[in-house]
Amino acid sequence: MKKYGVCGILCLCLVAAVVIAGCVGTPPAENKTLIVGIGENFPPYGYPEENGTYTGFDVESMRWIADRNGLDVSFKPLPWQDIVKNVADGTVDIVYCGLTITPERAEIVDFSNSYMTVNTAIAVRPDSSFTEKDVLSGNVSIATQSGGTSHLWIEKNLNETGILAAGNLRPQPTIEDAFSMLAAGTCDAVIYDDITVNAYVAKGVAKKIGTIETNEQYGVAVRKGDTATMQLINNGIVDLKASPAWQELLGKYAITLS
């Protein structure tokens, strides 16, 4: 049998530890600040308060997970059209802000387990006489957030079928901009996820006239191959849902799950 000195044994142990660490993924550094991408103005998931700090259901959920794991967290508002690419290119570590899991996005990033199911809703001004049939028959102008799954749904089901004229689809940088158009009378309806529409209905700036069952699954986008962060998020979501904080957050933001 070959004999090894103490130094040799230590070196072998070190190499083995490195190999094992490489197999299971590198855990997040203790002092790492996790950079979380969120929409620029996307209630109730992430939006600015009057003092400029961001709050919302997903923002508070991520803070809860970070606190439980001893991590610092920083939120970076980003244009929605590029938000998935910003995970892949390292601008942010994750996106945690009402992001639907789609096959196209999953080619660019990895997704956590789903934490919420949403449908798509149709909203008009509170004094409007437009009906769901009017909207889905293409007899109105429609605003939505550019680059979102509602935008893609309208293009596929209304534009490409010839029901809605191309000029009557008016995608906006943020959903706040879309509802501002609705309030100003520069569009007739907004189509977007039902939980966000409910938030604007609660403000008294819109009324909901219909729901489209799209059964979208929300997940957290993580850079491909980042198994440590993925494990952190998946475990954190499980822990959050098992804690009283989950129901407290749902109540605080008036969210009724599908």
pLDDT, tens digit, for every residue of 25-58?
344 545 579 999 999 999 999 999 999 999 999 9
188 near 240, Cβ under 8 Å? Answer: no
* Cβ-count burial 56-77 (b if 16+ within 10 Å, e if not): bbbbbbbebbbeebebebebeb
Spatial separation of the C-alpha atoms in residues 236 and 225, rounded to whole Å: 18
The predicted model scores a pTM of 0.85
In 3D space, the residue among 251, 249, 257, 258 whose CA is nearest the CA of residue 57 turns out to be 249
205 near 182, Cβ under 8 Å? Answer: yes
pLDDT single digits (tens) 130-160: 999 999 999 999 999 999 999 999 999 999 9
**Would you list the DSSP string of 142-198?**
EEEETTSHHHHHHIIIIITTTSS-GGGEEEESSHHHHHHHHHHTS-SEEEEEHHHHH
> For the range 245-251, what are the long-range contacts, defined as Cβ-Cβ under 8 Å and sequence gap of 24 or more?
245/64, 249/57, 249/60, 249/61, 250/57
Digit-by-digit pLDDT tens for the chain (258 residues) are 444 444 444 444 444 443 344 433 344 545 579 999 999 999 999 999 999 999 999 999 999 999 999 999 999 999 999 999 999 999 999 999 999 999 999 999 999 999 999 999 999 999 999 999 999 999 999 999 999 999 999 999 999 999 999 999 999 999 999 999 999 999 999 999 999 999 999 999 999 999 999 999 999 999 999 999 999 999 999 999 999 999 999 999 999 987
Task: Kindly report the average pLDDT of the chain as a whole number.
Answer: 90
40 near 77, Cβ under 8 Å? Answer: yes
Give the CA count within 13 Å in the CB-facing half-sphere of 160: 7
Q: Who's near 109: CB < 8 A, 6+ residues apart? A: 84, 87, 88, 95, 221, 222, 223, 224
Q: Looking at residue 30, what is its pLDDT?
A: 52
pLDDT single digits (tens) 101-112: 999 999 999 999
Domains in the chain, CATH or no CATH each:
33-115+219-252 (3.40.190.10), 118-216 (3.40.190.10)
80 near 91, Cβ under 8 Å? Answer: no
